[in-house]
Amino acid sequence: MNASEFRRRGKEMVDYVADYLEGIEKRQVFPDVDPGYLRRLIPTTAPQEPETFEDIIKDVEKIIMPGVTHWHSPYFFAYFPTASSYPAMLADMLCGAIGCIGFSWAASPACTELETVMMDWLGKMLQLPEAFLAGEAGEGGGVIQGTASEATLVALLAARTKVTRRLQAASPELTQAAVMEKLVAYASDQAHSSVERAGLIGGVRLKAIPSDEKFAMRASALQEALERDKAAGLIPFFVVATLGTTSCCSFDNLLEVGPICHEEGLWLHVDAAYAGSAFICPEFRHLLNGVERTDLTGAFRLDPVYLRHSHQDSGLITDYRHWQLPLGRRFRSLKMWFVFRMYGVKGLQAYIRKHVQLSHAFEALVRQDTRFEICAEVTLGLVCFRLKGSNQLNEALLESINSAKRIHLVPCSLRDQFVLRFAICSRTVELAHVQEAWEHIQEMAAKVLRAPGEGTAEMQNAWLRKEERRKKKSNGFI
Amino acid sequence: MNASEFRRRGKEMVDYVADYLEGIEKRQVFPDVDPGYLRRLIPTTAPQEPETFEDIIKDVEKIIMPGVTHWHSPYFFAYFPTASSYPAMLADMLCGAIGCIGFSWAASPACTELETVMMDWLGKMLQLPEAFLAGEAGEGGGVIQGTASEATLVALLAARTKVTRRLQAASPELTQAAVMEKLVAYASDQAHSSVERAGLIGGVRLKAIPSDEKFAMRASALQEALERDKAAGLIPFFVVATLGTTSCCSFDNLLEVGPICHEEGLWLHVDAAYAGSAFICPEFRHLLNGVERTDLTGAFRLDPVYLRHSHQDSGLITDYRHWQLPLGRRFRSLKMWFVFRMYGVKGLQAYIRKHVQLSHAFEALVRQDTRFEICAEVTLGLVCFRLKGSNQLNEALLESINSAKRIHLVPCSLRDQFVLRFAICSRTVELAHVQEAWEHIQEMAAKVLRAPGEGTAEMQNAWLRKEERRKKKSNGFI
């Protein structure tokens, strides 16, 4: 394909994308396909001779779209929102064209420098303390990690190295393994499974701190675990505080946890993968309070000691490869630049506020129906709710909702209760969609409540499926 | 921005991208900017109010492009090629529009299933043994990792878990730390720095096996290290064989290394980050020989034991989040699908053959000039060469080439020799560019050879700069 064909095909693709997103509401949000559907539709080997773009774009509708879960449908209320916008897509096109691998400053100076400045823009939008910013002097500074999971892992590895070096400096006879055997990291029992995984990868114990009745990690429970572990000769070194948990968007108490970490010399990592963006709104910024009162090193300014070889960052040049696990990295800050500018801070705040308003609207609808209960405080765009009654009943409700495929939800487990999560996700979701979804849920509930009760074969099967699913649980969702 | 503005702006962006790539040859391949250039050109905070697309696209030329190293310029001969093509860009647009996070089958069935089939297509193109493929039965199967660094790390972690479990099954009193303290991984002294980093992250020793005179890891050196370490009570568990090293594109001897790993029960991981794609050409496939003769588990079929929680993959459904470090993942297989189909296998083979021919053409030019020497066998698209003479002389040559900025190269270090790497990178590079580059290098060489010899202040400074750079070395390039 040469440039002139790309001009033509690219424009066709732009129209296809616009058509897709304009018409996404009319597509069934969750696909009808069974596992293995796709293999039957395409050849078993790559073609020897080139095919045409027409062949492929026809197959997109025939082969791909029938198997797509439409994350940007206004009827998608599952998991959490994943960012997408037209400005972001335009930036991505440019990112693909430049196609640099920004592992060092020289590999593409603009790629490194725009990221540094965009992270400062973000840091200021979040009202982070000055020490978190790169600024002119290059004292702090942020980095875009590929995923939240990697951010947690990188922080844990940095903390592991820091504490190991400190202990070895004091007792040079200590081996790394001897230190690692005693290290303990902590997170709330509501933390995302990627935190547990970071512990496994890093080869250190990770202990779950029982959360309080609001699903928040509090000082007392953390302190108790620390005392017990220190008494047993273990070495606490790392705490993950989650702001906006995956299961129910609860918030660990940073104002309590921060000072403890400071006192005990523990690295405090803040995981705000979902809720973080809401902190650009002044009315939600208080949820991040505690960042200022502690002198945590972590969160955004990842200490690169671990990931460094013998390279020294100068004040002006950051070689981001030392701040992340992979060597390669794309020109991702272009997306931030386009989105920040084309929305403006006010536009982004409005976007978040709309989502929060919609979740409160849904919450109000649920509260008006006495058959239902709200299971956790609604702070941002997530509502956890259930039918008053057994887990089996709620399992059946979810099953009937997701089988009907008019909307899509996923469940979570809160203190052994099977709970439905209603997450405001789509960029284009409006009050009418939320109302329609609620009416649909009510209909499904009526059907389930009319159905033969627990103890029937149907319910037994649902229960078995649930148990199976519970076993497969591997993150905040079930 | 609504859909109709996106239609307009998207098409403008398509033209911008096509213009950029059509005109890339006329842009200076390496930028003139100094560290910190960008911060001075843009505001210190994000705008409160939205800006227009015009504002931004104007700034792309004013602020971004002056700081871009143009990886797709036909005058770019640095590092290694990074894949880019028009079909890939079209696929990426679609990927961005669908914008799903494919961490499980249900999160978007097409995303998982296309990846499984595309990895099979690739496996067959590479003539991998049947056991590496997913096929109908789902026995093997590949996964797209974000980067080669992550692939190595995931393999090392899987191997670490496997050996730890085996040892703990035999001696239940063994702690993980006690096992890890004794584990040893091996790679050639020519392996990429990301292998060393994987060892650091995984908390295990990694030993460098001295490569032979062709920079290849051989049986004898590996066996010797294994015997020595086993005698010292250590536990060898993991070997990385590199096919196509970063510094000089040398090939570890898989036919020798494979059987040793098999005999000793070591996990063998093949890192073919650069050279792997060439194995789709029958004439280069022999470089992968040994994959068949060993029963290695690794390389493509990553044993997910480690990354699994309590989830069982069925034959038909693969939840790829268990096969990688991050939870999130994009719909990356769309790119493979578009590219494989629009090039066809023959088109891809032709692409690779052209690059190899161009590197041999460059090699022939170098060999005709007796002032120069070739430093490593030229197999694929990389030529390592230098002026006969001191490291200082070659350092000065590179310095003068990269200061002139007509072409861009990076150096490497081979047995303490400062060596220039000429890598065929661009999709649009032709013989004329290679010839022009060589003439330019000759001119620069003549200038350097005419210049005051070693011992002058200029040379002393170059030497100091080199030493500094050498210290900063953190991968196969200097």
Is A327 close to B49, i.e. CB distance below 8 A? Answer: no
Task: Give the residue among B270, B210, B216, B264 at the shortest CA–CA distance from B237.
Answer: B264
Is A21 close to B44, i.e. CB distance below 8 A? Answer: no
| Residues of chain B with C-beta less than 8 angstroms from the C-beta of A88 | 96
Shortest alpha-carbon distance between residue A370 and chain B (Å): 32
CA distance B194 to B197: 5
Is B317 close to A14, i.e. CB distance below 8 A? Answer: no
The CA distances from residue B350 to A436, B275, B303, B346, in Å, are 55, 15, 34, 6
* Chain segment A197-246, per-residue pLDDT in tens: 899 889 999 999 999 999 999 999 999 999 999 999 999 999 999 999 99
Q: Exposed (0-12), middle (13-18) or buried (19+): which is B43, by Cβ within 10 Å? A: exposed
Is B17 close to A93, i.e. CB distance below 8 A? Answer: yes
Residue pair B279/B289 in contact (Cβ under 8 Å)? The answer is no
Q: Exposed (0-12), middle (13-18) or buried (19+): which is B169, by Cβ within 10 Å? A: exposed
* Chain segment A113-156, per-residue pLDDT in tens: 999 999 999 999 999 998 889 887 767 888 888 888 889 998 99
Q: What is the pLDDT of residue A293?
A: 61
Q: Is the pLDDT of residue A14 over 70?
A: yes
Q: What is the pLDDT of residue B460?
A: 55
What residue ranges do the domains of chain A occupy? 355-453
Q: Is the pLDDT of residue B32 over 80?
A: yes
Nearest-by-Cβ selection for B35 from A99, A105, A326: A105
Q: Is the pLDDT of residue A472 over 60?
A: no
Q: Is the pLDDT of residue B463 over 90?
A: no
Nearest CA in chain B to A427: B2
Nearest-by-Cβ selection for B47 from A31, A146, A345: A345
Residue pair A142/A134 in contact (Cβ under 8 Å)? The answer is yes
Is B474 close to A194, i.e. CB distance below 8 A? Answer: no
Q: How many CA atoms lie within 13 A of B257 on its CB side?
A: 30
For tokens 């018409």, name the residue: A23
Q: What is the pLDDT of residue B316?
A: 55
Task: Give the residue among A154, A436, A122 at the shortest CA–CA distance from A308.
Answer: A154
* Chain segment A386-439, per-residue pLDDT in tens: 999 999 999 999 999 999 999 999 999 999 999 999 999 999 999 999 999 999
Does an H or E element contain B351, and which? helix B333-368
Per-residue pLDDT band for B190 (boundaries 50, 70, 90) equals: very high
Q: Is the pLDDT of residue B432 over 90?
A: yes
Per-residue pLDDT band for B330 (boundaries 50, 70, 90) equals: confident
| Residues of chain A with C-beta less than 8 angstroms from the C-beta of B408 | none
| Residues of chain B with C-beta less than 8 angstroms from the C-beta of A44 | 120, 124
Is the domain spanning A355-453 CATH 3.40.50.150? The answer is: no
Q: In a 3-state reduction of DSSP, which class is residue B304?
A: coil
Q: Of residues B162 and A435, which shows the higher confidence score?
A: A435
Q: Is the pLDDT of residue A453 over 80?
A: no
**Testing the interface with B: which of A4, A9, A14 to mutate, by most B Cβ within 10 A?**
A14
* Chain segment A361-370, per-residue pLDDT in tens: 999 999 999 9
Q: What is the pLDDT of residue A39?
A: 94
Q: What is the pLDDT of residue B466?
A: 60
Is B108 close to A68, i.e. CB distance below 8 A? Answer: yes
Q: Is the pLDDT of residue B124 over 90?
A: yes
Nearest-by-Cβ selection for A94 from B17, B192, B310: B17
| Residues of chain B with C-beta less than 8 angstroms from the C-beta of A54 | none
Shortest alpha-carbon distance between residue A228 and chain B (Å): 21
* Chain segment A269-317, per-residue pLDDT in tens: 999 999 999 999 999 999 999 886 655 544 333 333 333 333 334 455 6
* Exposure string over A86-95, b if 16+ CB within 10 A, otherwise e: bbbbbbbbbb
Q: Is the pLDDT of residue A83 over 90?
A: no
Q: Is the pLDDT of residue B149 over 70?
A: yes
Is A89 close to B10, i.e. CB distance below 8 A? Answer: yes
The DSSP annotation for B22-77 comes to HSGGGS-SS--PPTTTTGGGS-SS--SS---HHHHHHHIIIIIGGG---TTSTTB-
Q: What is the pLDDT of residue A304?
A: 34
Is B328 close to A147, i.e. CB distance below 8 A? Answer: yes
Is A63 close to B110, i.e. CB distance below 8 A? Answer: yes
**Testing the interface with B: which of A118, A193, A201 to mutate, by most B Cβ within 10 A?**
A201
Q: What is the pLDDT of residue A296?
A: 59
Predicted ipTM > 0.85: yes
Q: Is the pLDDT of residue B334 over 80?
A: yes
Q: Is the pLDDT of residue B297 over 70?
A: no
- Please provide residue A182's backbone torsions phi and psi, each rounded to the nearest 5 degrees: -105, -10
Shortest alpha-carbon distance between residue A183 and chain B (Å): 11
* Chain segment B193-241, per-residue pLDDT in tens: 889 989 988 999 999 999 999 999 999 999 999 999 999 999 999 999 9
* Chain segment A289-298, per-residue pLDDT in tens: 988 665 554 4
| Residues of chain B with C-beta less than 8 angstroms from the C-beta of A32 | none
Task: Give the residue among A280, A389, A337, A346 at the shortest CA–CA distance from A144.
Answer: A337
* Chain segment A165-203, per-residue pLDDT in tens: 999 999 999 988 899 999 999 999 999 988 998 998 899
Count other C-beta atoms under 10 Å from residue A332's C-beta. 18
Q: Is the pLDDT of residue A47 over 70?
A: yes
Average pLDDT over residues B177-190: 95
Task: Give the residue among B269, B278, B149, B142 at the shortest CA–CA distance from B217.
Answer: B269
Per-residue pLDDT band for B462 (boundaries 50, 70, 90) equals: low
Per-residue pLDDT band for B455 (boundaries 50, 70, 90) equals: very low
Average pLDDT over residues B26-35: 95
Count other C-beta atoms under 10 Å from residue B372's C-beta. 22
| Residues of chain A with C-beta less than 8 angstroms from the C-beta of B22 | 3
Q: Is the pLDDT of residue B85 over 60?
A: yes
Count other C-beta atoms under 10 Å from residue B66's C-beta. 17
CA distance B160 to B137: 27
What's the pTM value of the predicted model, to 2 decimals? 0.92
Q: What is the pLDDT of residue B109?
A: 93
Average pLDDT over residues B311-317: 47
Q: What is the pLDDT of residue A142?
A: 86
Q: What is the pLDDT of residue A334?
A: 96
* Chain segment B350-384, per-residue pLDDT in tens: 999 999 999 999 999 999 999 999 999 999 999 99
User: In chain B, what are the helix, strand and coil shares in percent, each to the nearest 5?
Assistant: 50, 10, 40
Shortest alpha-carbon distance between residue B204 and chain A (Å): 9
Does an H or E element contain A265, and which? none
**CA B179, B309, A391: angle at the middle one, nearest 5?**
145
Nearest-by-Cβ selection for B98 from A68, A194, A338: A68
Is A49 close to B327, i.e. CB distance below 8 A? Answer: no
* Chain segment B264-291, per-residue pLDDT in tens: 999 999 999 999 999 999 999 999 998 8
Q: What is the pLDDT of residue A317?
A: 63
Per-residue pLDDT band for B131 (boundaries 50, 70, 90) equals: confident
Is B110 close to A6, i.e. CB distance below 8 A? Answer: no
Q: How many CB pairs under 8 A join A and B?
A: 408
Pairing of strands A417-423, A410-414: antiparallel
Nearest-by-Cβ selection for A48 from B20, B44, B344: B344
β partners of residue A417 = A414
